[in-house]
Amino acid sequence: MPKEKLNPEVWVDRYSDYLYNYTIVRVNDHEVAQDLISETFFAGLKSKKNFKGEASERTWLIAILKRKIIDHYRKKNSKKGKAEVHIDYNDQDAEGEWLEERVRDPFDKTAEDNMENEELGLAIMNCLEKLNDKQAAIFKMKTIDDFDTEAICNEFNITPSNLWVIIHRARKSMAECMEKTWLN
């Protein structure tokens, strides 16, 4: 199989609509979506030498765009916490406990947290098994394995709109199952 080559001169014409549709559902802001796509094209140009040709141009640009979207949310969320002050009104003796820097790290996992995560994972797998085979396979490919819509549609010989109906139904079934088995 021949290696894919980059052709930046056609990126805007070939991929901007696809990248925009991918981005707008994730950021829900027209200007932010356009900025992220511009940053993606710029980053692609800057890192052309890193392109190995093992994936398609579009797949490579989507990988860059995913990182840009993640960075966008990291930046956005890091600004949120700066102004927050956490106060424990019940413990007036603990000097400085109200400082954000001294609040318990939410990522500091205990054995109980790990056990709860394991139980949640088992509940999710149990609910996945209750879906029909096709629905479960499509749901896993899209939501867990992060497969591209086009790849899933080709694999199952379905249209994108059919894919989204299947995903919607699977999510609904999963939510109902989780509500019965996990939340009760």
Q: Which two tokens stand for residue 14?
A: 């070939």
The dihedrals phi and psi of 94, each to the nearest 5 degrees, come to -75, 95
Give dist(CA 10, CA 49) in Å, integer: 18
Q: Which two tokens stand for residue 122?
A: 């088992």
Looking at residue 88, what is its pLDDT?
44
Intervals of the chain under pLDDT 70:
1-2, 79-117, 182-184
The dihedrals phi and psi of 82, each to the nearest 5 degrees, come to -65, -35
CATH, domain range 8-79? 1.10.1740.10
Residue listed under structure tokens 């406990």:
97
- CA atoms in the 13 A half-sphere facing the CB of 67: 10
Looking at residue 110, what is its pLDDT?
56
Looking at residue 25, what is its pLDDT?
86
DSSP assignment, residue 176? Answer: H
CATH, domain range 111-181? 1.10.10.10
Give exposure, 52-72, as e/b (b: 16+ Cβ within 10 Å): eeeeebbebbbebbeebbeeb
CA angle 62, 63, 68 (to 5 degrees): 90
Looking at residue 122, what is its pLDDT?
80
Looking at residue 184, what is its pLDDT?
56
Looking at residue 40, what is its pLDDT?
92
In 3-state terms, what secondary structure has residue 5? coil
Domain coordinates in residue numbering, the chain: 8-79, 111-181
